[in-house]
């Protein structure tokens, strides 16, 4: 008892910190994440070692700087990727559950609340960093790494945890939802990384030439000291800002600017289709009534406006079409011109196609997982389940915007595929089966845009069904799709270079990834060599993914009522 009173006198009795740590220790996913992170980290280190340091036990002596830098950069990447999701929900989740007001009723001061939340989410991140200690010891034992480098790396990682965690906590206090806080924090970290990659700001990054020197002295210690001061000041400022936002933005209303604009754009195209239908079917009374509802909603009681006049004056359809046609024509001219100047490159088309695929990768998984999660977090799901709507009808309504967004991305891709096929047919070298190659290219490309978006849509919808927490469902969906794209390629390179898999098997493993399929589809049509072998691997991938997508879709439709909690 005297000890407890002494701690209370020193203001070190933080019940909220104990609550945070107990709740996190009771979650199974915390241990699953640690195990997965340890496996990935140790596997990546083994891959690096086998690729760069497998010459012999004597030849690797004095070459510990390479694996040491690799481990430190991997840890920095871990901090930027995993600490924001861990810290972004510290205060935003309290707002989402409407429990932040209850914390204000306790005797906790705002600073105590901020610091307890901060350390409660920072400690699990530090436990992840401790997993790299055995690997750092291996790198240090190889030689070439000074003691000063070891200490400076530990200090840099700890300081980076402090300021990134403080930034994420400030974003959590500023935004109304965890997802908004996470996106804001990642955006600021990305800008910081970009500014520190060029110019005079490089000394803020550990990869700088100032911090990578194995020597010690004043010229080595000064950047460390300067970074420490800057990061500590930034940490304090972010925490002070979090304390200010906690008091001024505690009961801010939820809003999603991107989602709001997306809904407005989706509603615009729905209205446009209804108006065009009313103009093309003049005898259809239902279409005419729908058009009049749109006009009345947008213009009030002004009923003397026809659908055509409304489209010309209010919806500005001619201006939109003119802009789309001019922009699309300029883009196609630039792409075709660049290919005509260098027929064998095809780089311009690859950049355009890759950009659209990356946009789909960043949006489709998140929108698919958010289909059900948004209804849960906005507390509309219970009311919807009381209606006589079937599960199939509800899913069709919820997935409508996502399907229209997929169509919005797929149509430019189809145009690019057709134009690129024509260009390949014209620029094909003599003696090659140009027509057969182009047909194969078009068939494979069209199958990719038909199968892969549907697979991502239904897979992420199933994840949204099974995981009730919104941010966890979004992150799981996005990371799972990214892992599907990247891990087969990395694993194939590792197993092939280490000799654990024959080269042919390694190539088959690479074709599990859609990135390999899309990249190979772009190369088909330029050369006849090995086209049949590549086509077999591509169609095997597309067939397997299509079958899995069909099974997931069937599962979602058959068990939707159970997943939603209706039965």
Most confident of the ranges 25-29, 33-37, 306-310: 33-37
Backbone angles phi, psi at 512, to 5 degrees: -70, -30
Share of the chain above pLDDT 90, in %: 7
Is 74 a residue whose pLDDT tops 90? no
What does the CA dihedral 33, 34, 35, 41 come to, rounded to 10 degrees?
100
Q: Is 292 exposed, middle or buried (0-12, 13-18, 19+ CB in 10 A)?
A: middle
In 305-433, which residue ranges form alpha helices assigned H by DSSP? 307-313, 317-341, 347-377, 381-385, 391-427
Q: Using 50, 70 and 90 to split pLDDT, how confident is the model at 7?
A: very low
Secondary structure of residue 413 in the 3-state scheme: helix
Is 13 a residue whose pLDDT tops 80? no
The domain limits of the chain are 2-255, 259-315, 332-564
CA nearest neighbour of 556 among 480, 455, 427, 426: 455
Residue 310 has a pLDDT of: 67
Backbone angles phi, psi at 441, to 5 degrees: -60, -45
Residue 214 has a pLDDT of: 44
Q: Average the pLDDT over 262-287 and give the result.
A: 72
Is 179 a residue whose pLDDT tops 70? yes
Is 187 a residue whose pLDDT tops 80? yes
Q: What is the pLDDT of residues 464-513, one digit of tens each?
A: 888 877 777 888 888 888 888 888 888 887 777 766 677 777 778 888 88
Q: Whole-angstrom Cα distance, residue 166 to residue 113? A: 13
pTM: 0.69
CA distances from 515 to 109, 358, 510, 519, 527 (A): 51, 10, 9, 6, 20
For the chain, helix, strand, coil in percent to 5 are: 80, 0, 20
């Amino acid at each position: 008892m005297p000890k407890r009173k002494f701690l209370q006198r020193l203001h070190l009795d933080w019940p909220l910190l104990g609550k945070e740590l107990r709740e996190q220790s009771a979650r199974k996913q915390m241990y699953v994440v640690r195990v997965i992170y340890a496996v990935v980290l140790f596997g990546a280190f083994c891959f690096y070692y086998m690729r760069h340091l497998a010459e012999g036990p004597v030849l690797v002596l004095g070459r510990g700087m390479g694996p040491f830098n690799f481990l430190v950069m991997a840890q920095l990447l871990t901090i930027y990727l995993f600490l924001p999701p861990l810290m972004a929900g510290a205060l935003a989740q309290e707002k989402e559950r409407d429990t932040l007001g209850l914390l204000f009723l306790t005797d906790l001061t705002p600073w105590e609340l901020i610091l307890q939340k901060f350390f409660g989410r920072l400690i699990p991140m530090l436990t992840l960093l401790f997993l790299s200690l055995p690997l750092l010891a291996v790198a240090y034992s190889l030689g070439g790494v000074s003691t000063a480098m070891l200490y400076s790396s530990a200090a840099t990682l700890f300081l980076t945890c402090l300021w990134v965690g403080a930034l994420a906590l400030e974003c959590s206090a500023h935004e109304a939802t965890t997802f908004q806080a996470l996106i804001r924090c990642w955006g600021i970290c990305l800008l910081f990384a970009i500014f520190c990659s060029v110019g005079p700001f490089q000394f803020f990054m550990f990869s700088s030439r100032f911090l990578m020197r194995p020597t010690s002295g004043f010229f080595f210690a000064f950047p460390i000291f300067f970074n420490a001061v800057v990061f500590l000041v930034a940490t304090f400022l972010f925490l002070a800002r979090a304390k200010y936002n906690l008091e001024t933005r505690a009961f801010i209303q939820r809003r999603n600017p991107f989602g709001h604009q997306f809904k407005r754009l989706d509603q615009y195209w729905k209205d446009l289709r209804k108006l065009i239908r009313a103009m093309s079917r003049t005898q259809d009374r239902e279409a005419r009534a729908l058009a009049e509802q749109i006009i009345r909603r947008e213009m009030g009681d002004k009923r003397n406006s026809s659908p055509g006049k409304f489209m010309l004056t209010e919806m500005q359809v001619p201006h939109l079409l003119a802009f789309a046609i001019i922009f699309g024509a300029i883009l196609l001219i630039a792409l075709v011109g660049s290919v005509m100047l260098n027929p064998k490159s095809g780089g311009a088309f690859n950049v355009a196609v890759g950009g659209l695929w990356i946009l789909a990768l960043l949006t489709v998984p998140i929108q698919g997982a958010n289909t059900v999660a948004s209804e849960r977090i906005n507390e509309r799901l219970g009311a919807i389940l009381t209606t006589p709507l079937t599960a199939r009808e509800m899913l069709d309504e919820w997935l409508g915007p996502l399907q229209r967004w997929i169509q919005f991305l797929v149509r430019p891709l189809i145009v690019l595929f057709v134009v690129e096929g024509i260009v390949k047919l014209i620029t094909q070298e003599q003696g090659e089966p140009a027509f057969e190659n182009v047909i194969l290219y078009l068939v494979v490309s069209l199958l990719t845009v038909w199968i892969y978006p549907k697979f991502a849509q239904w897979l992420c919808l199933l994840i949204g069904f099974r995981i009730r927490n919104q941010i966890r469902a979004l992150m799981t969906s996005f990371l799972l799709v990214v892992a599907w794209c990247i891990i087969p390629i990395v694993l194939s390179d590792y197993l092939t270079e280490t000799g654990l898999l024959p080269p042919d098997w390694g190539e088959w493993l690479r074709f599990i990834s859609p990135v390999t399929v899309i990249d190979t589809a772009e190369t088909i049509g330029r050369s006849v060599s090995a086209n049949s072998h590549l086509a077999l691997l591509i169609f095997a991938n597309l067939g397997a993914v299509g079958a899995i997508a069909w099974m997931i879709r069937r599962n979602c439709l058959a068990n939707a009522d159970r997943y939603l909690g209706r039965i």
